[in-house]
Structures are given as C-alpha cells and as structure tokens.
Amino acid sequence: MGKEFAFLDFTPGEPSSSFASFLNQTFDNGLEKWAHTYNNAGGDVFLTAEANTASPTAEPASLLLMGTGLLGLVLFARRLSTKLVD
C-alpha cells in the first residue's frame, strides 16, 4: 500500500452513507489511484495512494496521426491526378 491521508474526521458512528465515486480518481499519468477506507468506529475516512492495476489505454501521438493522415491525403491526390491525366 502507498501513503495514507486522513481525509475526513467525524463523530464515531455518525455517518450513514458513503462516497459513491471520486472525481479524477487516477493520477500520475494513470499509474496510481486513490482508494478510500472508512473507519466508522474511529470516525475517520482515509485516502490511500496505491498502484493502479488497470493499465491506461495507450493513445497514439498526435504527430503520428497527423503524419498518417497527410500521407493518405497525398497518395489520394496523386492517384486522382493520374486518373485525370489518362
């Protein structure tokens, strides 16, 4: 487990609900995530930074996408121009 932070203190036994979700639960480029632990008897909610076991989806670089698109456009234009000449 990673570093643990006391996130919320309350009167022990008081809360009757919990957090449904976290906004931006993953961080460090998707390598780590927040996990929450409720200690109702102690009156604490802890956030723990831990390794994210779900691997993030890899996305191709913008230049690679743009280069592939331009290459396709050039090849299409060349093919179109040879058909017009014939």
Tell me the DSSP string of 8-37. EE--TT---------TT-EETTTTEEEEEE
**Residues spanned by the domain of 45:** 4-53+60-85
Instruction: Tell me what pLDDT residue 49 has.
Output: 84
Which one has a higher pLDDT value, 46 or 74?
74
> Which residue reads 């998707």 in tokens?
30
What whole-number percentage of the chain has pLDDT above 90? 8
What whole-number percentage of the chain has pLDDT above 70? 81
The total number of structural domains in the chain stands at: 1
pLDDT in tens, 29-38: 878 888 877 7
The token pair that represents 33 in the structure block: 């995530």
Distance CA 10, CA 21 (A): 19
pLDDT in tens, 52-67: 877 556 666 777 888 8
